[in-house]
A = this chain, B = another copy of it.
């Protein structure tokens, strides 16, 4: 089964467990809206790919962790889109959650998704007691204060922040959690996988900065030009487009090199190179990236 199908099934399963007759029905609809159909599911794919590379022996645990990571990502998108931040009308080509269900349910949906991430882990955790604490810690590191994605977003409220500090927290932290958690779910040492998460995380944020400047809202499925509008640190703004593209390539090269020795090293390296080309195609001479929104669901086509 392709990783993305496996993730989709696991997300559906977790959502169905929550969507009980005694749950508030509009909240449940808001939760589904926030999670499905979803974007590229890059982070959970990365988590599962690392678990497989580490000799995955507990697929139900990797699934639960991958689900948790995607739910935490979805939660951050719901809250980031709200009027007090981006005030974004659209996400993934659909109305943002607060546009569809109102601010109160968007706020609660984000909260519920954070908790649902931990529910996913709790559900299978009892069967893997020696791996649970490390996984719990890793998820928390990726999303909370002092240096997870919540902290990354909070840096936007500070008067002084470096680009690297901001990007490491806002995007990098959950990528690091994804690679580390993949290893931990397989009972492996997470340390050798840290650098892959760091490089990919920074590269994705740089790519996002470039795409925010170069692509239209139509292609992005969300408003364009947000970084400039909100005065946020941006690689495209601070390095220029060419500088940012070169930085992106260097980060993806570093990601390729960082992949630890394992039977699937060559395959993983190939996927990272494909992903690099998908995000920022080599031919950007016309300053318009030739990417359709539909490609968002075709990335990292690993077969498990």
A23 at the interface (CB under 8 A from B): yes
| Interface range for A | 35 or more
A3 at the interface (CB under 8 A from B): no
Whether B26 and A158, one on each chain, are in contact in the complex, defined by CB atoms closer than 8 angstroms, is yes
Partner of A150, one of B102, B112, B165: B112
Whether A130 and B129, one on each chain, are in contact in the complex, defined by CB atoms closer than 8 angstroms, is yes
Interface string of A71-82 (1 = CB under 8 A from B): 000010001001
Whether B126 and A140, one on each chain, are in contact in the complex, defined by CB atoms closer than 8 angstroms, is no
Each complex incorporates copies of this chain amounting to 2
Whether A107 and B84, one on each chain, are in contact in the complex, defined by CB atoms closer than 8 angstroms, is yes
Interface string of A106-123 (1 = CB under 8 A from B): 011011101110110111
* Pairs A-B, 7 closest by C-beta atoms: A115-B144, A23-B146, A126-B133, A27-B154, A84-B103, A129-B129, A125-B133
Question: Nearest-CB distance from A39 to chain B (Å)?
Answer: 20
Further 17 A-B residue pairs, CB within 8 A, beyond A104-B156, A112-B154 = A19-B146, A20-B146, A26-B154, A27-B151, A27-B157, A85-B107, A104-B154, A105-B157, A107-B107, A112-B144, A115-B144, A118-B118, A118-B139, A122-B133, A129-B132, A132-B133, A132-B136
Question: Nearest-CB distance from A117 to chain B (Å)?
Answer: 9
A261 at the interface (CB under 8 A from B): no
A226 at the interface (CB under 8 A from B): no
Whether A110 and B111, one on each chain, are in contact in the complex, defined by CB atoms closer than 8 angstroms, is yes
Helix, strand, loop or mixed for chain A's interface?
Answer: helix
Whether B129 and A133, one on each chain, are in contact in the complex, defined by CB atoms closer than 8 angstroms, is yes
Partner of A107, one of B82, B116, B137: B82
Whether B112 and A26, one on each chain, are in contact in the complex, defined by CB atoms closer than 8 angstroms, is no
Specify which chain B residues have a CB less than 8 angstroms from the CB of A22 in the assembled complex: 146-147, 165
